[in-house]
Amino acid sequence: MSNLDMIPTVDLSPFFTSGDNEGKKNAKNLIHQACSTYGFFQVVNHGVPIELMTRAREVSKTFFEFPDEEKLKSSPASGSPLPAGYNKQPEHLADKNEYLMMFPPKSTFNVLPTNPSEFKEVVEDLFSSFIKTAQLLEAIVAECLGLPINFLQKFNDDRNWDLMVALHYFQATDIENVGNSEHEDGNLITILLQDEVGGLEVRKDGEWIPVTPTEGTLIVNIGDIVQVLSNDKYKSATHRVVRTKGRDRYSYAFFYNLQPEKWVEPLPEFSTSIGESPKYKRFLYKDYQALRMRNKTHPPSRSEDVINITHYSIAN
Ligand SMILES: O=C(O)CCC(=O)C(=O)O
Ligand SMILES: [Fe+2]
């Protein structure tokens, strides 16, 4: 099997009809396998209309091609818990991208561009559509873990903290090509929509595997919360984006997220109840978010000092 074949593509259509238990079983087997090994898979027939995906890519490209003066009209408002609106990565970071962050459609923190005029409607539709796909994935992941189908839905029951980011990666130069440095996502489940340029890579067994773009496909990765709840049964995917010479890249990342006041710890089902030690200390999600934010605002000089979920690891 070549590396390119290693990231499974899962057909979610069986979950949109009653019956087809065989199809559901096959899909769950693939997802279980992917989540147990490296936390990454792709999905087709995921419920997000292909036409909406295409329009979303178009409006994002149009927006990011505007001069800074226009983009800065969507600068974040003060008082927002996260900088919803237009941002460019600070110079001190190796990551070379600009992005537009948004909370769910009705959030008063959102600062969405009025130009192009269809931007708001398209991204709000995309956001709502991603939520539905994430809810389906959450139920599938719960079942794959052997939990009640609505377990994660109950745990993660506040939809005010989901985030979507439209990203624009600049072209690589002769000397630098970092788009998004190696990381894991801190949330539960991430859904990615990438364009045809490529550059997204996932790490498996110390090797970087490119996630080759395929029209109509969405990429799913497991985040730190699921890794902790499952006591490492499911892996939070390590991934990065490498920029391409001569090509700008556009993507959307949707973070299905937990509310900040929630406590997170390994579930007894995966630890004490089965005679295994919990691999993580209990933590408040907002504390972890603050530490991750500090990595960005005050990046440590050594990459090994960046705080990630191992900060809460219990040494055995
Ligand atoms: O742009 C992408 O494809 C990935 C973005 C990503 O990993 C992130 O924003 O956490
Ligand atoms: Fe990520």
Distance CA 14, CA 18 (A): 8
Prior bond of 210 cis (ω within 30°): no
Quote the pLDDT of residue 5.
52
Residue 141 pLDDT greater than 90, yes or no: yes
Task: Please tell me the distance between residue 22's alpha carbon and the centre of ligand 1 in angstroms.
Answer: 33
Q: Which atom of ligand 1 is nearest to the CA of 219?
A: 3
Residue 2 pLDDT greater than 80, yes or no: no
> What's the average model confidence in pLDDT over 77-87?
92
Q: What is the pLDDT of residues 185-196, one digit of tens each?
A: 999 999 999 999
Task: Please tell me the distance between residue 30's alpha carbon and the centre of ligand 1 in angstroms.
Answer: 23
pLDDT band at 90 (very low <50, low <70, confident <90, very high): confident
Q: What is the pLDDT of residues 7-53, one digit of tens each?
A: 899 999 999 999 999 999 999 999 999 999 999 999 999 999 999 99
Q: What's the distance, Cα to Cα, between the start and end of the chain in Å?
A: 35
> What's the average model confidence in pLDDT over 201-210?
94
Q: Which atom of ligand 1 is nearest to the CA of 255?
A: 10
Q: What is the pLDDT of residues 207-231, one digit of tens each?
A: 999 999 999 999 999 999 999 999 9
**Can you tell me the ipTM of this complex?**
0.99
The residues whose Cβ lies within 5 A of ligand 2, an ion, are 185
Which residue's CA lies nearest to atom 5 of ligand 1?
A: 253
Quote the pLDDT of residue 31.
98
Residue 92 pLDDT greater than 60, yes or no: yes
Check: pTM over 0.90? Answer yes or no: yes
The residues that bridge with 172 in the sheet, in sequence order, are 245
Per-chain mean pLDDT for the chain: 95
> What's the average model confidence in pLDDT over 55-61?
98
Distance CA 108, CA 122 (A): 18
